[in-house]
Amino acid sequence: MRQFADIIPIRTNGRGLVDVTGAVNAWVERHSLRTGLLTLYCRHTSASLIIQENAAPEVRGDLEAFFDRIAPDDPARYSHNDEGPDDMPAHIRAALTGVNLSIPLIDGRLALGTWQGVYLFEHRRAPHRREIAAYLAGE
């Protein structure tokens, strides 16, 4: 078995879904494995990782609107606001969506479904530099 680990840097433009499928695929392909398991881990408490629809942009817009409703930037709702009114809502959004993914590698490709993509979900309003820790094990 061979193993690889690295940090994949991602720049965001502020709140929203950032398609990182291409960056993740490029990293996996460099290692030329046929079978294995990829683990991705978002190293932040105000961003997360999800696998989601990658064809219809309306899906991403609807997800963002849903999270705006369930975790609004309303300072009256939260005690924690060390970094501004979007700080605590960002933590809630990350807790609900999660920070890690496991994706099988089959025949040298990520076993994503036809309409699936890997997204970093930025929960803060300002642009950020995020890091995804990637670990790949296999043959």
Cβ proximity of 128 and 122 under 8 Å: yes
Residue 45 CB neighbour total at 10 angstroms: 13
Domain residue extents for the chain:
2-138
Exposure b/e, 54-64, CB count within 10 A at least 16 = b: beeeeebeebe
Record the pTM.
0.96
Q: Tens place of pLDDT for every residue, the chain, 139 residues?
A: 999 999 999 999 999 999 999 999 999 999 999 999 999 999 999 999 999 999 999 999 999 999 999 999 999 999 999 999 999 999 999 999 999 999 999 999 999 999 999 999 999 999 999 999 999 999 9
> H helices of the chain, where?
21-29, 57-70, 87-97
> In terms of CATH, what superfamily is 2-138?
YjbQ-like (2.60.120.460)
